[in-house]
Structure 1
Amino acid sequence: MNAEDVEPGTVRPGGRTARVREAVLRAAGDALVEHGFDGLDLADVARRAEVGKTTVYRRWSTPAGLVADLLTDMAEQSVPRTDTGSLEEDLRANARLVARTLTDARQGPLFAAVIAAATCDTRTAQALHHFYAVRVAEWAGCVSAAVERGDLPAGTDAGEVVRAVSAPLYYRLLASGDPLDEAAADRAAGAAAAAARAGVYVA
């Protein structure tokens, strides 16, 4: 593969350059929280990260490339799924993790900014879709395990169950403005578990 064939922001640096990537992505996240995607400026990110503008422009090229790499990093840093042996407890842990993330002083505004950016930028949307595909696949394991234990009907779509847990929580964040707390998380998990047991998510 030639260098010119590589899309900017898709190659992960290693060794000593890893700290540059870490600093730039942290700065990009700060800028997104403060100004949103429309206000994301590569020169400002370079200043915040205390690295040369040339480095940022060469490696990420565009704000969309930078956000794509930020989402890749977020997926890699995400907390592994819980494995308690109980479907309800596993889904509750997932829901509470989502709620904590979305109400975090930094992570909540960051996710809101990225989601807003994805509505008008194709590359950001693709990166966001990949991020959630990684997270859904990770947590789907607890649903698949429940099927294997006989706790859920055969043929249950594990990914759909996981998405059903987090969807009401994102609705509260982005649309209704209703409280996003542990009670809401537990209700979302309980509803998804009940629907799964009833066969709603059998493919």
Structure 2
Amino acid sequence: MPTPTQFVLTDIEGTTTSISFVYDTLFPYFKQHAVAYAQSHLAEPEVHEALSQIADTLSQELAKPITTEEAIKFLTHWTSADRKDTPLKTLQGIVWRDGYAQGALKGHLYPEVASVLKRWHSQGIGLGIYSSGSVEAQKLLFGHTASGNLTPLFSHYFDTRIGHKRETASYHNIAQEIGIAPQAILFLSDVEAELEAAANAGFQVTQILRTGTISSKRFPTAGGLDEISLG
């Protein structure tokens, strides 16, 4: 008998949200505003700390000292390269927070996502997010959707601080943090390598097939969250 699902952990890009929203809306917004925002908010602790970490990484990579002011010049390049460095993701979340607050950004969700998440929550299923984007960015997206603020539905948010998404150890860490046996957690993603890492940790997994997703030959698939039947 399969273990009943007690918790659903979901990816964002390509799963609940169009990848094009990230690459065609969020990233361009950050690249347009990052330098000016960083320069004008450099004295703020969270901005200064993230830039200091980026400067440290650059100093090692370039084998020469890099100041926080100089690090600002690399923000656009790192974003274009889609680097997964945690301090960059932190800064992106900060700049996007400002954009959401101004009404310049609105979080995209596929049509069925909000209603299914609400139904699962009402049924007592725990919900969590695991994305390469920062926890800040995750909460902003789900806090500013066309269906309203959905953040109260989620009990847990995870980003690269818990580990990278293609590493099995990350999912062991997540299960421990949630406090539920891996076999009772369902992980949703469009990326087969992420599903493999989660499955190796004992998670239930399902690949969400959106337009352009290459269907897995190894794991269960669904065309949307509304096609998933929780055991």
Structure 1 length normalisation: TM-score? 0.29
Q: Which has the higher strand share?
A: 2
Which has a greater percent of helix?
1
TM-score by length of 2: 0.27
